[in-house]
Amino acid sequence: MESGVEELMPRLLPVDDCDLAEDFDPTVPPRTPQEYLKRVQIEAARCPDVVVAQIDPKKLKKKQTVNISISGCQPAPEGYSPTLKWQQQQVANFSAVRQSLNKHRNHWRSRHLDSNVTMPKSEDEEGWKKFCLGERVYSEIDALPDNENLGIDYIKVGFPPLLSIVSRMNQATVTSVLEYLISWFGEKKFTPELGRWLYALLACLEKPLLPEAHSLIRQLARRCSEVRILEENKNEEQISALNLIICLVSRYFDQRDLADEPS
């Protein structure tokens, strides 16, 4: 190595010149400590001064920028702020759902899925959005032709978060799908299909939360508070659903700075 490089990278274990056998071969496993240290010296001398990593640009298309907001939720529209008693009841109900899910997870995981249910791979963002929301919501189609004789077409209306489905999702998949749906919700309206899946995924999140999940649910609560302010018709059922998600994030998952002040 160049002397300048050696000055920047001093030897931590200096090795004096040593007598090695004439048949010393650095390509074979060392037989003595001297041969080992000599081989390390030779390999270090062959290393380039500058190494350029080979990076696949396709892997950098997503998640290059992380925006962090420390602001809380916007207050509920006047007359729609949930009472403390209501919030406490929702937390109790949610806790019971989580306990039941954990208790019976192995049972539901062992149940066979219907032949028409094909769960997307964890990294398939578009696949999960269509799976959860259905073509009607995902593609923003006002209506799809009904065919009562064929029953419900879950490809069109989305698969509900059945216990046999969510019980098969590990924490990495739960977090990924939650991220996909929150990302979609960031630019779209709130729908019953979305609400059911958000509730189910929150029920599947394990505590203590991983940092990524912690950030996601806070983002979700803020978005819910924004949407309920913009709700023109003040649909009570929809505002109640948004209040519920904010309540669970803030009071069950201990993000108290996001909680609605009791009315």
Query: Residue 182, SS3?
Result: helix
What percent of the chain shows pLDDT beyond 70?
71
Mean pLDDT score of the chain? 81
Q: Which comes out higher in pLDDT, residue 216 or 58?
A: 216
Task: State residue 139's pLDDT score.
Answer: 76
Give the mean model confidence (pLDDT) for residues 73-95: 92
Give the mean model confidence (pLDDT) for residues 115-125: 92
Residue 91 buriedness (CB in 10 A; 0-12 / 13-18 / 19+): middle
- Residue 246 placed within a domain: yes
Task: State residue 53's pLDDT score.
Answer: 58
- Residue 8 placed within a domain: no
| 158 touches 116 (CB < 8 A) | no
- Residue 232 placed within a domain: yes
pLDDT per residue over 190-216, tens digit each?
Answer: 999 999 999 999 999 999 999 999 999
Judge whether residue 45 has pLDDT over 50: yes
Least Cα distance to 262 among 253, 252, 217, 251 occurs for 251
In which domain, by residue range, is 177 found?
84-141+153-258
Give the mean model confidence (pLDDT) for residues 140-152: 56
- Residue 240 placed within a domain: yes
**What would you report as the CA-atom Rg of the chain, rounded to the nearest whole angstrom?**
28
Task: State residue 167's pLDDT score.
Answer: 94
Task: State residue 9's pLDDT score.
Answer: 47
| 70 touches 249 (CB < 8 A) | no
pLDDT per residue over 100-110, tens digit each?
Answer: 999 999 999 88
- Residue 134 placed within a domain: yes
Report how far apart, in Å, the C-alpha atoms of 224 and of each of 67, 72, 176, 194, 246 are: 18, 11, 19, 12, 7
The model's confidence at residue 246, banded by pLDDT at 50, 70 and 90, is: very high
Most confident range (mean pLDDT) of 52-56, 71-75, 157-161 is 157-161
Q: Which comes out higher in pLDDT, residue 21 or 151?
A: 21
Domain CATH number, residue 230: 1.20.58.1070
Work out how many domains the chain is built from and give that number.
1
Task: State residue 259's pLDDT score.
Answer: 92
Give the mean model confidence (pLDDT) for residues 22-45: 70
- Give the pTM: 0.70
